[in-house]
């Protein structure tokens, strides 16, 4: 869960500490004009205020696991969030609420909650990045989302220049999104999670995980068993960060699963009729979520599909775009993403959207 570093060759000096490839799991990104490190919530606020006083744009960067930074870097101040730790702020017989600093490595937190016998995050094991990023993305995997356990977010409001608490109901949580994702108004400082005091996981909702555990969907299992199974599944897909495995030099899933209105879904099914019934899941209201991984594969972009400069689809999972060579450029990765997006649309009429935040680049 620590930052992974490889010497980048994207045009920036790899010995320059401001080269952002040092701080992203993709190992891509040019240099920042100014790079600041903040070890506490107070320092985060101060660094942001100082940059604003200089009339510089600000980028908040923690684990660097869900961001794609352009080859030109960032023309302002990048604040590296290194505020760590968590503490209990409320508890009763059945639950415990922990306040987690924004820079706390996410999997370290999950491991600690499992060890404590606190249920609610176990299926989110192995996800790289920091705790402060989880409400931004409404991080989810294997049937759990952080929106289910977050009670509130402490953030710096750059519009009103004050630290505020945003209750969970005001965070605008949706599938892989929130009010924080596409706005630079809020700087997340810490997050509160309410977890159950239980040695057992929540009901296992994800069929693949249930099969791995040898249980039925809806069953509960010991927390440690759920965590171990999730870690095995993620590792098998190259979704657990490993400095020695180029398949993990990615942002995880590059595209979100498309959510289609019923009419659009039926049109898609017609175009995919020759391939059998596509995997899909009904959502709230008359919408259907379809598998981005299936779309990519069936459009002709299989595991290991190569792009320029050594970028490629992971050999383990079609949703991960990787900087396998370790020496590629962001423009090469973006070119591969565009090729996949356009190919899927041409074949199925469905548009894929990127899951990571794109900084100074676009597809």
Facing residues of 320 across strands? 253
Q: Of 101, 104, 145, 355, which is the active-site residue?
A: 355
Q: Of 27, 176, 324, 341, which is the active-site residue?
A: 176
On whether the CB atoms of residues 190 and 41 are closer than 8 A, the answer is: yes
Catalytic residue list contains 216: no
Handedness of CA 183, 258, 333, 310 (dihedral sign): positive
**Tokens, residue 112:** 């600690």
**Tokens, residue 136:** 């931004």
Catalytic residue list contains 253: yes
Q: What is the DSSP string of 180-228?
A: TTT-SSEEEEEEEEEEEE-SBPSPP--HHHHHHHTS-TT---BHHHHHH
Q: Of 119, 130, 190, 253, which is the active-site residue?
A: 253
Q: Which residues contact 317 (CB under 8 A, 6 or more apart)?
A: 237, 238, 239, 247, 293, 303
Residue 159: CB atoms within 10 Å = 9
CA 132, CA 102: separation in Å to the nearest integer? 4
Residues that are catalytic: 176, 253, 355
């Amino acid at each position: 869960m620590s930052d992974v570093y490889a010497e980048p060759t994207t045009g920036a000096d790899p010995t320059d500490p401001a080269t952002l490839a040092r701080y992203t799991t993709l190992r891509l990104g040019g240099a920042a004009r100014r790079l600041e490190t903040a070890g506490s919530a107070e320092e985060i606020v101060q660094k942001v205020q100082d940059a604003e006083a200089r009339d510089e744009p600000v980028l908040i960067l923690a684990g660097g696991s869900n961001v794609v930074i352009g080859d030109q870097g960032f023309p302002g101040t990048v604040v590296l969030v290194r505020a760590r730790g968590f503490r209990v702020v409320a508890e009763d017989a059945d639950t415990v609420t922990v306040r987690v600093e924004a820079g706390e490595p996410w999997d370290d937190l999950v491991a600690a909650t499992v060890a404590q016998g606190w249920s609610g995050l176990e299926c989110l094991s192995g996800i790289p990045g920091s705790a402060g990023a989880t409400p931004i993305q409404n991080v989810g995997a294997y049937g759990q989302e952080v929106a289910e356990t977050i009670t509130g977010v402490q953030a710096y409001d750059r519009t009103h220049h004050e630290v505020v608490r945003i209750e969970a109901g005001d965070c605008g949580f949706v599938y892989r999104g929130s009010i924080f994702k596409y706005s630079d108004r809020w700087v997340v400082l810490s997050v509160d999670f309410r977890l159950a005091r239980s040695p057992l996981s929540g009901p296992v909702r994800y069929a693949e995980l249930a099969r791995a555990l040898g249980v039925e969907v809806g069953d509960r299992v010991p927390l440690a068993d759920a965590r171990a199974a999730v870690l095995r599944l993620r590792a098998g897909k190259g979704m657990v960060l490993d400095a020695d495995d180029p398949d993990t030099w990615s942002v995880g899933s590059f595209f979100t699963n498309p959510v289609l209105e019923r009419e659009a879904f039926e049109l898609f099914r017609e175009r995919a009729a020759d391939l059998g019934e596509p995997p899909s899941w009904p959502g709230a209201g008359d919408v259907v979520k379809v598998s981005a991984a299936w779309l990519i594969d069936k459009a002709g972009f299989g595991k290991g599909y190569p792009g320029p400069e050594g970028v490629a689809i992971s050999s383990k999972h079609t949703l991960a775009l990787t900087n396998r060579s370790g020496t590629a450029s962001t423009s090469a990765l973006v070119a591969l993403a565009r090729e996949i997006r356009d190919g899927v649309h041409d074949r199925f009429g469905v548009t894929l959207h990127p899951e990571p935040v794109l900084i100074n680049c676009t597809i």
